[in-house]
Amino acid sequence: MIDLAVIDYDMGNLHSACKGLEKAGAVPKITNSPQDILSADAVVLPGVGAFDPAMKHIRELNLEETIKQAIASGKPFLGICLGLQILFDGSAEGTERGLGIIPGVVRRFQSEPDITIPQMGWNQLELKQPNLALWQELPPDPYVYFVHSFYVDPLDSSVNAAMVTHGTQTVTAAIARGNLMAVQFHPEKSADNGLKILSNFVTLVKDRLMTSSC
């Protein structure tokens, strides 16, 4: 059985994320215990809402260093939505310092006559790291579900794992660097494509455990 920790820092969508992971074959454990997170086989950092409250909650719960240690340990780590944005240095949405794991900032979509903000609904991914474990067996340019007004802008474009175009703006939809992966969209709301992405993450964890036990 996979020991998969889902970090609870009071920023929503935990149960919907867990349902998606359960459908993918995992048994997730919702926790804010540093011991649980650091001992887990893999970690998921979901979240919805605003950047500043998220970072304040993480610091109040003494989870900042725990998250950094979990990523540095090499175990598979998946951020979802707000769980992607707080990996960065800071956000135009607020004034709190982010985790600073991925250099860069979070920006707001620019207003355009023919687009709505937030971007809410289905949109297509342009995959930039086609061999990434998360993308295996997905259709070309897969549709996934977004709800966001802000997007991440990494300093190093090589971490971009997928892009999305909203109006005339093409922005980062997912990042990946080593064991760290994170997505702006909601896989748990993205029907078969989202379920496949979560299943791919679970498979990645299983493969890593099998390799380490050999």
Query: How confident is the model over 16-74, as pLDDT tens digits?
Result: 888 888 888 888 999 999 999 999 999 999 999 999 999 999 999 999 999 999 999 99
Across the chain, mean pLDDT equals 94
Who contacts 158 (Cβ-Cβ below 8 Å, separation ≥6)?
none
Identify whether 81 is a catalytic site residue: yes
As given in the structure block, the two tokens for residue 87 are 């990996």
Domain extent, residue 146, equals: 4-213
Candidates 18, 81, 148, 166; catalytic one: 81
**pTM summary value:** 0.96
Q: What is the pLDDT of residue 179?
A: 97
Distances, alpha carbon 162 to alpha carbons 68, 176, 184, 207, in Å: 23, 9, 10, 23
Residue 5 in this model has a pLDDT that exceeds 90: yes
Catalytic, 166? Answer no
Q: List the CATH number of the domain containing 103.
A: 3.40.50.880
The pLDDT assigned to 214 comes to 59
Contact residues for 175 (Cβ-Cβ < 8 A; gap 6+): 84, 87, 102, 152, 154, 159, 160, 161, 181, 182
Q: In which band, very low, low, confident or very high, does the pLDDT at 212 lie, cut at 50, 70 and 90?
A: confident
On the question of pLDDT at 118 being above 90, the answer is yes
Q: Which segment of 10-19, 179-188, 203-212 scores lowest on mean pLDDT?
A: 10-19
pLDDT at 14: 83
Residue 98: per-residue pLDDT: 98
Average pLDDT (160-186) is 97
Number of domains within the chain: 1
Q: Is 186 a catalytic residue?
A: yes
Of the spans 4-13, 106-115, 145-154, which averages the highest pLDDT? Answer: 145-154
Could you report the per-residue pLDDT of 131-171, keeping only the tens digit for each?
999 999 999 999 999 999 999 999 999 999 999 999 999 99
Pick from 29, 3, 36: nearest CA to 15: 29
Q: Which one from 18, 93, 166, 188 is the annotated catalytic residue?
A: 188
Q: Catalytic pick from 18, 93, 148, 186?
A: 186
pLDDT value, residue 152: 98
